[in-house]
Structure 1
């Protein structure tokens, strides 16, 4: 029987990222290490260290690869409906494996690592905040929301509330929660 050919390059990277996600879902961050990933993947530690200098860097890349939900908002001309659709579309990815547990692990590690916290913000949170701000700014320009108000903080509150619910608490972020959040937002910023 022929031996399986050695995997290199992109195929090896994909395999290592998938092994990382699978292992993180099984053992959580506490059980995760470069050694554990290497053992599960059947490679030497050097194979992983050539690609990622730390476990946190590996986890961030694994998260990036696993995140398949489009973060772009639809623009139907109804900002409330567009925000609602996006928040409900994102919910399953944030709440369930593989992303939920891995994301929570990275957030936990980021509390003790300023560099990781900055990278987490730059690679994930900033993208979410900026796309939300862009959508509500377009609504403001179209007259759906009150003018003359900086919407940066409201965009952070919208995203932050859902991230808090999905990733840091044991409370659900279901349709009722999303509707209540959007009702508050529209009461404060919607055209009356």
Structure 2
């Protein structure tokens, strides 16, 4: 049975150096040889430590790989805080895409997921030790944006976060297609949506309902207005009113705005 790792000794000096060497050795061996090619003996040899040293801290190679992965994800997947949701999402999704698809840590992640499919005990430990912490990291950009008013307070952060990161995991675990910056950028919802409407008053009223924000009096009589975190620009022509809605991040809201363009 896989158990959470035991105390790893002094985090300073030679003990910490040896522990780090073991974790790095496990990462490297997995990339080179695959999961079945990793052994406790091989890890010890690569790390330059006695086999007893490895067994003093871990019972199995899966425990070693899990600890290596947990440390890597905690260090490398810290969400940025640029003070702007678009920049935060672009940076974080690119970081996550590289981590999952282009790093040694991603190779370890895929191996651990594969192991979890036929080892229920390990699967439970993996979820317990990784899932909650990773979900908290994934949600942080949207939570910060909500707290500073870029997103409406009613936004479902958990659901929107899952919609953002799910395509990355699908590629790395199911299709095997490349995870590059272009794909990561495409995952983030558009910041601006544009279309033409014939009834701008009705459009503004429905947009206010969707965002939970009050539409300013006379909003559609000028060339634009602010609505909560959104900025709406209006340009009149003989065929109707061209509308640009800036600041859209919530995918549900984006779909509703697109529908308004189609029906109004």
Normalising TM by the smaller chain, what interval? 0.7 to 0.9
Task: Report which structure shows greater RCO (CA 8 Å, sep ≥6).
Answer: 1
User: Is residue 24 of structure 1 aligned with residue 88 of structure 2?
Assistant: no
Task: Give the TM-score of the pair, scaled to structure 1.
Answer: 0.78
User: Is residue 98 of structure 1 aligned with residue 125 of structure 2?
Assistant: no
Please say if residues 21 and 62 of structure 1, whose CA atoms lie closer than 8 Å, have aligned partners that are also in contact.
yes
Tell me what 2:117 maps to: 111
- Alignment RMSD, CA only? 2.8
Please say if residues 137 and 151 of structure 1, whose CA atoms lie closer than 8 Å, have aligned partners that are also in contact.
yes
Q: Which moved more, 1:8-17 or 1:142-151?
A: 142-151
User: Is residue 86 of structure 1 aligned with residue 92 of structure 2?
Assistant: yes
Secondary structure (helix, strand or coil) at the match of 1:50 reads: helix
User: Is residue 69 of structure 1 aligned with residue 133 of structure 2?
Assistant: no
Q: How far apart are residue 42 of structure 1 and its match?
A: 5.0
Query: 1:176, 1:183 → 2: CA distance?
Result: 13
Number of aligned positions between the proteins: 185
- In structure 2, stretches of 5+ residues that fail to align are 1-12, 191-248, 258-264
Which one has the bigger strand percentage? 2
- Bigger Cα Rg: 2
Tell me what 1:188 maps to: 252
Tell me what 1:175 maps to: 181
For residues 144-176 of structure 1, give each alpha carbon's deviation from its aligned partner in whole angstroms, at most 9, with x where no partner exists. 334424321221232232233235431123333
Q: After the TM superposition, which residues 1-12 of structure 1 pair with which residues of structure 2 at under 5 Å, given as runs? A: 8-12=14-18
Task: Give the TM-score of the pair, scaled to structure 2.
Answer: 0.60
- In structure 1, stretches of 5+ residues that fail to align are 1-6
Task: Rate the CA distance shift 1:49–1:144 in 2: closer, same or farther, 3 A.
Answer: same
Q: How far apart are residue 27 of structure 1 and its match?
A: 0.1
Task: Rate the CA distance shift 1:168–1:102 in 2: closer, same or farther, 3 A.
Answer: farther
Secondary structure (helix, strand or coil) at the match of 2:188 reads: helix
Which one has the bigger helix percentage? 1
Please say if residues 160 and 250 of structure 2, whose CA atoms lie closer than 8 Å, have aligned partners that are also in contact.
no
